[in-house]
Chain A
């Protein structure tokens, strides 16, 4: 697989400028409201904001107190209130309540709402309906892109997944298009664009329109990024549903990485307090193990700790001068490394403990069986037992979805009984969750003779209607088959290996799932980049329901164009997992190219399942 003329992957471009742009704009917006003010921040925006501007920066610009936007009434006493929010109806009501309460008590203050990343008309509509539109001023903080790491950029819009794929809400497509425009203007022009999926296509078209309207062509500028690949999450749910076994994925599954950092609890820190750790390429230990299969991580860590000990041990037999040197130069680094090392070891132990408790091996075995498509009955009983024993509501749901999507839906009997079991175990309110899962196509019933419901048939009628051609069906995933088995065969996603799969020196991307399965999403990227388009993949495209596109705009020939042609932005609309990131990083290393990940949010099976749950209001 490794080509003979293997080149080092180019360095990723500097994405720090994205942060600086966002910070400057925020400061400008804050200064638009001169004088002291209290700032109300949407909880979702707190971590991203923290990565852009810390509290002291905010204080410098006359922010007095900080509050969370919550359901409780705000105790603020300031005469100027500034709200930093996502454009959501709920939040508008919260603000309207504050304003109206002030009005009732005859108090007059200034209110300013800063929408991030953009304002939606619906928000203004609500403000108007609540009668406060004239009392507030609105602004937009075009903070579309947050660089989480040297190669990961997130839009931090977890709701994108549910809004678009479940509710058929197209609002965020505009934000995606604007984000692409921003990226293109700073690091482009991208000479090759590929993509698959309805949302990808719409985003691409809207972005094109925006570029045309703005008319500032980036000609003459030297691009830092040459290629871009857009993909909808619904092209590949399977990968996102599998248990993650690379270290970063496991950490995410176990502790939840939030906005690039993680809170390690007492069980990891072996003290009585939690520690917040930033997980990125700057962490020397983490950067070496993040993409590794979990089985190799322990070995690496113990080797590392032996090395560290050795370096400490050099102190013996040092004279005064050497010692002085050691203390002033190396000790700090060693201590830092030591701290990180013990944290990661702690994390590993904690992961192990949790996983063994849940019969992790057993579960992985079932997952692999599902991916390969054998022992379906046994897997189904395993899932049933999993539900009966109330192991974990999210995990049970995930397994059910995995079964459904790999098998193109459950057979009616299982569909009924598993759902009944689930409701009995985890509560009847999940009835609505099942409805959502069906709508999005994650948990469906094998259609015996294609019995479509009333809605479905209407939708499909619309799709064939030419006038509705561009409209797109809002319920695109309805009645859509996953065709996983056929695709898997076509792309040989299940590697055939003789003997043991070498996880330490993996031959391909399948290592991220212990050599049992090559992530479909990454395989598509690999294939398309290799072929410079979709030629030869017609069958796969058909099985994926089409909507593929490829565009080469004055792309330089092979070899020309410099490093930029070896930099690829992989855009995941609806979120991407750390396993996918690890797989593509591996591919990049093999092919001498650099992948940059642009995602609406980092996702995982649990996040996806939670997004489908119908919250008890």
Chain B
């Protein structure tokens, strides 16, 4: 094996830097990179390239070409550039491409060169043009900063929530600064710029001179092309990579520096733990060697990890030296540390072979420790497997372990989904055993949303394919997929997909959006959620003309009754229209009766009731019609009575009207009503005697009782007189009571003797007992004797 540290370059006392190749670029680029606009997204993201941009003559054949490549140089998409002159390309945090035009317009594309939207950096930029632009990342999202032709800075900190900010003028700035950058600290965004020898900080209000942290002299006279930080997290060393045409320099705090020769034009991509270097033929990574790796691989290192690695190698060679090394570590009680070191270092290695040997060493060392928690080892194995699979040049995402941990697996999955690498994403989910709802389901849903956009397949095919793959996977929302299908203009497909949605409530909003309101209505009803039904009904009301709206409701009784309930309280007139539409004369009649209640004037009431009568006749409900006619008649009559007698008669029932008339002595009028309204005899008699009794008009009552044979018999006369405590009058009627009720009548009037006689006459034992129970020994002894005798006789027979 070559010396592992051959490509290590020291910088200062402690730090080493190495540069190694990630990929040989596959893109077969003919142009020089310097002739193209280049932008590569951090975290191993895609590379955007605009060719032919510089040429001013715009013949159609040599139109600029926008291409997007994976980090390994595989073409993802390309389009001829037809919009305005571009100044700068950049990537957002969610891997959208920002194309900044000279006129300040920013166009946003996804990584398949599909246009998403655009926005403008404002009028001032439009007038003065963009000299330079930079895309930067803040806590809020992705920002864009612009240096205008008037040497002023404009910026926005979040392109998704566009707020343009114009920075104050830099005093004495006559030409573009030689160099500038956007910094964010504590949610404040500032611009750092170099004017001649001085550095200025430009914040919202002012421009101030800043002190230098340190100075380094490169001894190269031409200005560098690019300059980026190259520092790993928690490093004690600060370093900057500076690129010239043919030279790369790593400079830090110390006076020395590392120099690399560049064979080709190169482009630097800053990463959180190093720098990627792109050129026509290769893609390299330059970074500071992490501590764990240093400890293990430094020449003649006696660190526990280094010893463990050595021990394992000897063990494989079946050498007893293995034991010596191991003993040495164990004596220092550093074995756990050694294992941890090996595990950690494995993460920093790009070559699977080196990863394996470190992991083997860790695994070997683990055997000699009683209780070494396995999680860190297992997790590292899993992580490396994921990383190696995405680093494959077919996928082309060269994430380092540090970047991966910072990005998190969820975001990595998002990025795979963004690249439409669904199978890989699902494999990773399954491999890492992520919960279905966050993992597989989510990815399948994304897949389905992409699938519906495939226009070459029929609706049936797509719907079937989606259902086959998705089935009832938990957390899948078919309505979301359907919504996407609808957005792509595939309404029929959307409806098919909605059929798979188990929650009918979820189907409704989309169906409404697709103007399938009737279907939406039945789905809403199916869901049992009346609020949803209301939503649809209201929607229908606005969407359809009134006639169609009513027709639709007529076929959906549940919705209809809900709407009626609403109308009853809120829009009574609509209710009428609703019944009219349906020729529901019965309900129309009821409606008019109801309206008559709210009419103040008699004429109004009569009018409303008359309408009701008409409707009832149309409904062939003669009973209701007649009853309402009677009501009208009664109303009119009551008004007359009210005028004639100056007493409130309105709203009394017929019974009470007649009763009041009699009580007031208007017998003629009462008689007339009795005939006019065909009051049944029985009722009239009941009514009349109780009214007369209330009035105390016993004379009239007697006269009435003799007018003809009572249809209710004479017991009521007795009862009513007794009720009014008039025993004298009551007694008059008792003898006229039918024989069957006579005993009861006599008891009521308190004439026990006659009661007894009647009972004896009937030879009825129960009646005799009844009378007996009313007798008191003190006063009625004669009657009791008589009864007892009769009863005894009766029993004898």
Whether the pair B530, A428 counts as a contact (CB closer than 8 A) is no
Q: Say which residue of A424, A454, A475 sits within 8 Å of B653 (CB atoms).
A: A424
Whether the pair B558, A120 counts as a contact (CB closer than 8 A) is no
- Most central of A209, A428, A453 by chain B CB within 10 Å: A428
Whether the pair B634, A428 counts as a contact (CB closer than 8 A) is yes
Q: Roughly how many angstroms separate A428 CA and B628 CA in the complex, as a whole number?
A: 8
Interface size on B, residues (CB 8 A): 53
Residue B569 at the A interface, CB < 8 A? yes
Which chain B residue shows the least CB distance to A393? B653
Q: Roughly how many angstroms separate A206 CA and B527 CA in the complex, as a whole number?
A: 8
Q: Roughly how many angstroms separate A93 CA and B619 CA in the complex, as a whole number?
A: 34
Whether the pair B561, A617 counts as a contact (CB closer than 8 A) is no
| B736 → A minimal CB distance (Å) | 19
Q: Roughly how many angstroms separate A388 CA and B684 CA in the complex, as a whole number?
A: 9
Whether the pair A121, B651 counts as a contact (CB closer than 8 A) is no
Chain B residues near A427 (CB, 8 Å)? Answer: 651-653
Q: Say which residue of A174, A453, A471, A473 sits within 8 Å of B529 (CB atoms).
A: A174
Contact with A along B407-449 (1 / 0, CB 8 A): 0000000000000000000000000000000000000000000
Residue B686 at the A interface, CB < 8 A? yes
Chain A residues near B569 (CB, 8 Å)? Answer: 88-90, 93, 126
Residue A336 at the B interface, CB < 8 A? no
Whether the pair A168, B557 counts as a contact (CB closer than 8 A) is yes
Contacts across chains A and B counted by CB atoms under 8 Å: 143
Which chain B residue shows the least CB distance to A202? B528
Q: B173-181, B586-594, B724-732: which lies at the A interface?
A: B586-594
Known contacts being A419-B623, A425-B653, A455-B584, is A614 close to B594, with CB within 8 Å? yes
Whether the pair B538, A125 counts as a contact (CB closer than 8 A) is yes
Residue A19 at the B interface, CB < 8 A? no
Residue A314 at the B interface, CB < 8 A? no
Whether the pair A431, B597 counts as a contact (CB closer than 8 A) is no
Q: Roughly how many angstroms separate A104 CA and B655 CA in the complex, as a whole number?
A: 49
Q: Roughly how many angstroms separate A170 CA and B533 CA in the complex, as a whole number?
A: 10
Q: Roughly how many angstroms separate A608 CA and B558 CA in the complex, as a whole number?
A: 23
Chain A residues near B558 (CB, 8 Å)? Answer: 168, 170, 471-472, 474
- Most central of B522, B531, B555 by chain A CB within 10 Å: B531
Whether the pair A462, B627 counts as a contact (CB closer than 8 A) is no
Chain B residues near A31 (CB, 8 Å)? Answer: none
Which chain A residue shows the least CB distance to B609? A428
Within 8 A of A (CB), among B561-616: 561-562, 564-566, 569-570, 583-584, 586, 590, 593-594, 597-598
Residue B556 at the A interface, CB < 8 A? yes
Whether the pair B570, A459 counts as a contact (CB closer than 8 A) is no
Q: B107-115, B641-649, B675-683: which lies at the A interface?
A: B675-683
Chain A residues near B677 (CB, 8 Å)? Answer: 424
Chain B residues near A471 (CB, 8 Å)? Answer: 522, 525, 556-558
Residue A416 at the B interface, CB < 8 A? yes
Residue B503 at the A interface, CB < 8 A? yes
Whether the pair A474, B651 counts as a contact (CB closer than 8 A) is no
Residue A470 at the B interface, CB < 8 A? yes
Whether the pair B566, A424 counts as a contact (CB closer than 8 A) is no
Whether the pair B530, A120 counts as a contact (CB closer than 8 A) is yes
Whether the pair B565, A170 counts as a contact (CB closer than 8 A) is no
Known contacts being A453-B586, A475-B557, is A213 close to B627, with CB within 8 Å? no
Residue B526 at the A interface, CB < 8 A? yes
Q: Roughly how many angstroms separate A209 CA and B503 CA in the complex, as a whole number?
A: 9
- Most central of B503, B562, B619, B624 by chain A CB within 10 Å: B562
Residue A70 at the B interface, CB < 8 A? no
Q: Roughly how many angstroms separate A310 CA and B528 CA in the complex, as a whole number?
A: 62
Residue B160 at the A interface, CB < 8 A? no
Within 8 A of A (CB), among B503-533: 503, 522, 525-526, 528-532
Which chain B residue shows the least CB distance to A203? B528
Q: Roughly how many angstroms separate A611 CA and B613 CA in the complex, as a whole number?
A: 25
Q: Roughly how many angstroms separate A474 CA and B559 CA in the complex, as a whole number?
A: 9
Contact with A along B652-690 (1 / 0, CB 8 A): 111100000000000000000000010110110011001
Within 8 A of A (CB), among B28-45: none
Q: Roughly how many angstroms separate A474 CA and B594 CA in the complex, as a whole number?
A: 22
Residue B535 at the A interface, CB < 8 A? yes
Whether the pair A213, B631 counts as a contact (CB closer than 8 A) is no
Chain A residues near B619 (CB, 8 Å)? Answer: 453
Chain A residues near B704 (CB, 8 Å)? Answer: none
Chain A residues near B655 (CB, 8 Å)? Answer: 390, 424-426
Whether the pair A129, B570 counts as a contact (CB closer than 8 A) is yes
Chain B residues near A126 (CB, 8 Å)? Answer: 569-570
| B116 → A minimal CB distance (Å) | 33
Residue B560 at the A interface, CB < 8 A? yes
Residue A349 at the B interface, CB < 8 A? no
Q: Roughly how many angstroms separate A444 CA and B280 CA in the complex, as a whole number?
A: 93
Whether the pair B528, A431 counts as a contact (CB closer than 8 A) is no
Known contacts being A168-B561, A428-B628, is A435 close to B590, with CB within 8 Å? yes
Known contacts being A428-B627, A432-B590, is A167 close to B565, with CB within 8 Å? yes
Whether the pair A416, B623 counts as a contact (CB closer than 8 A) is yes
Whether the pair B598, A617 counts as a contact (CB closer than 8 A) is yes
Q: Roughly how many angstroms separate A325 CA and B128 CA in the complex, as a whole number?
A: 103
Whether the pair B535, A121 counts as a contact (CB closer than 8 A) is yes
Whether the pair B586, A435 counts as a contact (CB closer than 8 A) is yes
| A613 → B minimal CB distance (Å) | 13
| B135 → A minimal CB distance (Å) | 40
Which chain A residue shows the least CB distance to B569? A89
Residue B534 at the A interface, CB < 8 A? yes
Within 8 A of B (CB), among A425-468: 425-429, 431-432, 435, 453-455, 459, 462, 467
Contact with B along A148-180 (1 / 0, CB 8 A): 000000000000000100011111011001000
Whether the pair B627, A431 counts as a contact (CB closer than 8 A) is yes
Chain B residues near A167 (CB, 8 Å)? Answer: 561, 564-565
- Most central of B528, B529, B654 by chain A CB within 10 Å: B528
For this complex, 16 residue pairs linking A to B, each with C-beta atoms less than 8 Å apart, are: A169-B561, A170-B528, A170-B530, A173-B530, A202-B528, A209-B528, A389-B686, A426-B653, A427-B651, A428-B631, A429-B593, A453-B586, A453-B619, A471-B558, A474-B557, A474-B560
Which A residues lie at the B interface, using CB under 8 A?
88-90, 93, 120-122, 125-126, 129, 163, 167-171, 173-174, 177, 202, 205-206, 209, 213, 384-385, 388-390, 416, 419-421, 423-429, 431-432, 435, 453-455, 459, 462, 467, 470-475, 614, 616-617
Which B residues lie at the A interface, using CB under 8 A?
503, 522, 525-526, 528-532, 534-535, 538, 555-558, 560-562, 564-566, 569-570, 583-584, 586, 590, 593-594, 597-598, 619, 623-624, 627-628, 630-631, 634, 651-655, 677, 679-680, 682-683, 686-687, 690
Complex A-B, nearest 10 residue pairs according to Cβ-Cβ distance, in ascending order: A474-B557, A89-B569, A168-B561, A121-B531, A428-B631, A427-B653, A121-B534, A424-B654, A388-B683, A474-B561
